[in-house]
Structure 1
Amino acid sequence: MLGRMKLRGLVSLVALALLAGGCSSSSDDEPKADPAKKGSSEKLVEISPVTGLPLKGRPDNPVFVVKIENTANGSPQYGLNRADMVVEELVEGGLTRLAAFYYSTLPKNVGHVRSMRATDIGIASPVAGQIVASGGAPKTYRIVKKAGVKVFSEDHGAPGFSSDPAKSRPYNRMINLQRLNRKAKVRDIPGPYLSWTPPGAKPSPSASASAAPPKKATKAAVKFSGGTRTTWRLAGKTWQRTNGHAARGQDFAADTLIVMFCKVGDAGYRDPAGNPVPETIIKGTGRAVILHGNEATETTWHKSSLDSQVRFTGKDGEPVTITPGHVWFEMVPKGAGKLALG
């Protein structure tokens, strides 16, 4: 298990070459090889905390978490294909909204940007994510600020926002993350978002001999409410939405799809239409299904605090790691939410 370290990126040591010859000598007087000259030095390889994949270099930016509209009113969604990770969360009226993570690349055109929710604290905090939103309710601002999460809001004058002339408010807000980054401050990243499978280890998730074997699946339907379902299909090696709202060629391709069943509470205020605003509780433990390739593995998720890493265990209680790549989380309401596989 990787420990939590205050690094802006997770670092792994990768050996570039081995020392020539044996490890010991028959004579103490024999000159010792200089490791640097023999090419035995080890190179530090930056590993992304949100994908587990090697980075070409440590990004000079924080992890931005952009709130994106996820209904037909805000379509098309721009820039999802450039995201490192995406979380779909419940909002009022049984609808959902996306929290898209950007770290390895910063697109100039992401949107359409919407308001934040208190749920975003538990989503963004594990990697010191900085939330990008069009605005938020006063109570939400207070809660998020108290949690120590940085917010870039158009309502509070954050740079980089613009209007999509083809849309009308509140569904027309776009963000240029490169421009926004000029005002952002890079913070230490506490550690990786997930327990990534180490290089060379057996691909995970996979069931041990004492656990139930994974189910086979090439389709998935995730129900958030009576009116909201997200449907998926396995296309080659990635999971892709079949009823998404992304612009053509700009949808997210998930190497791993994780469905987490979470308790939902009341955020304590209502939206302008009078609907109570839900708050998904991303803390504690619950059922999770991990879809990777054509395998769907039943697991239990664990998160001790809002800012801690999400961990998974199998039916046998053993840790389940995640194959490095691009992950989509479905934060489904426990009880009302459903997952159907095909």
Structure 2
Amino acid sequence: MKKRMLCLLLATCVAATTVAGCGKKEEEKKPVVEKEEPKEEPEEEPVDTHEGQAKSYLTGQWIDEELAKKRPLAIMIGNTSDALPQFGTSSADIIYEVPVEGAYTRMMAIFQDYSALDKIGSVRSCRHYFLYFAKEFDAIYAHYGQSIYAEPLLEQEDVNNLSGLDGSVGSTVFYRDTNRKAPHNAFASAEGINAGIEKKGYRTELSSDYQGHYQFAEDEQEVNLTNGEDALVVSPGYVVNKPWFVYNAEDGLYYRYEFKDKQIDGANDQQLAVKNILVQYCDWSYKDENGYLDINTTSGGEGVYITNGKMEKVTWTKANENSPARYFDESGNEITINQGKTWVCVVQNSYKDRFHVYQTEAELQEARAAE
């Protein structure tokens, strides 16, 4: 009996061992599932969002490529209190403000696109040094009359100008506004300007060797002048119109004032505003006893660049009368300016001490009251 129970016990152990062993082998035979590494998506090619566009030589911004090839228009604008409001000026990409006789200033507005404007002005007469500034942009130059010192330059073959005193195109380009008194009643229209250019047979595209004027920041790369001096309110120092600019941090623009009020475009009631201000100090002298000035456009000298609430000192040079001025920082590097509109204040170099910056308009007005 005992022998039979022992045999049964041994048989049970062998059976259990056999089952356990089989289970182990089955587990070992289970396939190992390998985890797949996530597949890398191929990099997308950058999408060209500027098809049919090119960078403007005047603002550094993207515009229609055909428009970018077009020669700009530089037109003389009156800037006395009797000439206000001016018209079309908010559409200008660059404005030069330059002294003339009697301590007044005159503006030269430079447009890449003036096609929608039916009233630009009032248009005033030429001073010879404005022609050299216009040449820096390969611009067609429009004016109503000129000083005697400008006449020899206007006769040069490479000067393409539209004059209100030119019998062949004057009445085509310009018209009189009967609501204004002379000489502040001459205006131009896009239609008239284009007709005048066609009559004169002027080249309408930029010269093939034109390389531009300014060195602009790349897209999404703002110039902030982090080491510069604060320049929230800027007074260039002109003594008659006493202009100033006020920085608006919300849009990054400098808004323009003169004659104790906002400087407005009468065509749309828009206050003039720019991204960049350049102050360019020039050598100068008197031409004659009548007070006509000779602003030396090639003298080189000091200056100031102002943007985004800051300013830095610069120097400027110009290779010859027809080439663009170049601006350099204190390390000798050509400066990069922000994309957008620019106002160039040409200032006689003996009046550098009239230039001031302030933290608030109240500080500016207090300083002026104390003069």
Distance 1:124 1:172 in 2: 23
Greater fraction of residues in helix: 2
Alignment of 1:89 onto 2:98: yes
Give the aligned residue type for 1:191.
Q
Residues 40 and 103 of structure 1: CA distance in aligned 2, closer, same or farther (over 3 Å): closer
SS for the counterpart of 1:55 is: strand
Unaligned 5+ segments in structure 2 are 1-40, 359-371
Q: Which residue of 1 aligns with 2:12?
A: none
Residues 166 and 309 of structure 1: CA distance in aligned 2, closer, same or farther (over 3 Å): same
Give the aligned residue type for 2:103.
G
Give the aligned residue type for 1:336.
Y
Residues 41 and 108 of structure 1: CA distance in aligned 2, closer, same or farther (over 3 Å): closer
- 1:219: Cα distance to partner? 0.3
Q: Which residue of 2 aligns with 1:117?
A: 127
- Normalised by the length of structure 2, the TM-score is 0.73
Alignment of 1:325 onto 2:345: no
What are the within-5 Å matches in structure 2 for residues 154-169 of structure 1? 154-157=164-167, 158=169, 159-169=172-182
Distance 2:317 2:133 in 1: 14
Distance 1:252 1:195 in 2: 23
With 56-65 and 172-181 compared, the bigger mean Cα shift is at 56-65
Q: Which residue of 2 aligns with 1:67?
A: 76
Alignment of 1:148 onto 2:162: no
Give the superposed CA RMSD.
2.6
What are the within-5 Å matches in structure 2 for residues 307-326 of structure 1? 307-326=322-341
Distance 2:280 2:253 in 1: 19
CA contact (8 A) 2:50 2:62 kept: no
- 1:136: Cα distance to partner? 0.7
Distance 1:40 1:195 in 2: 22
What are the within-5 Å matches in structure 2 for residues 282-293 of structure 1? 282-293=297-308
Residues 165 and 245 of structure 1: CA distance in aligned 2, closer, same or farther (over 3 Å): farther
Q: Which residue of 2 aligns with 1:182?
A: 195
What are the within-5 Å matches in structure 2 for residues 146-295 of structure 1? 146=156, 148-157=158-167, 158=169, 159-184=172-197, 185=202, 186-189=204-207, 190-199=210-219, 202-204=221-223, 206=225, 213-224=227-238, 226-235=239-248, 236=250, 237-243=252-258, 245-247=263-265, 249-266=269-286, 268-269=287-288, 275-295=290-310
CA contact (8 A) 2:213 2:324 kept: yes
SS for the counterpart of 1:127 is: coil
Residues 156 and 216 of structure 1: CA distance in aligned 2, closer, same or farther (over 3 Å): same
Residues 205 and 258 of structure 1: CA distance in aligned 2, closer, same or farther (over 3 Å): farther
CA contact (8 A) 1:86 1:329 kept: yes
1:106-153: CA deviations, max 9, x gaps?
311111000011111221112211111111124312123337221100
Q: Which residue of 1 aligns with 2:365?
A: none
Q: Which residue of 1 aligns with 2:107?
A: 98
Distance 1:112 1:41 in 2: 39
Distance 2:47 2:74 in 1: 40
1:23-48: CA deviations, max 9, x gaps?
xxxxxxxxxxxx9xx98999563211
Of residues 116, 136, 159 in structure 2, which corresponds to 1:126?
Answer: 136
SS for the counterpart of 1:341 is: strand
Q: Which residue of 2 aligns with 1:334?
A: 349
Distance 1:325 1:104 in 2: 14
Count of equivalent residues: 297
Distance 1:170 1:110 in 2: 14
* Segments ≥4 residues shifted beyond 6 Å: 38-42
CA contact (8 A) 2:77 2:122 kept: yes
Alignment of 1:79 onto 2:88: yes
Distance 1:39 1:148 in 2: 42
Distance 1:297 1:141 in 2: 38
1:85-107: CA deviations, max 9, x gaps?
10000100110000000112331
CA contact (8 A) 2:127 2:150 kept: yes
CA contact (8 A) 1:221 1:340 kept: yes
Give the aligned residue type for 2:357.
L
SS for the counterpart of 1:139 is: coil
Greater fraction of residues in strand: 1
Give the aligned residue type for 1:222.
P
- Normalised by the length of structure 1, the TM-score is 0.79
SS for the counterpart of 1:52 is: coil
Residues 147 and 246 of structure 1: CA distance in aligned 2, closer, same or farther (over 3 Å): farther
Q: Which residue of 2 aligns with 1:53?
A: 61
Distance 1:96 1:234 in 2: 22
1:240-285: CA deviations, max 9, x gaps?
112255345244211111111111133x356xxxx32112212132
Distance 2:211 2:292 in 1: 31
Distance 1:147 1:281 in 2: 22
CA contact (8 A) 1:205 1:322 kept: no
Distance 1:41 1:215 in 2: 37
- 1:231: Cα distance to partner? 1.2
SS for the counterpart of 1:167 is: coil
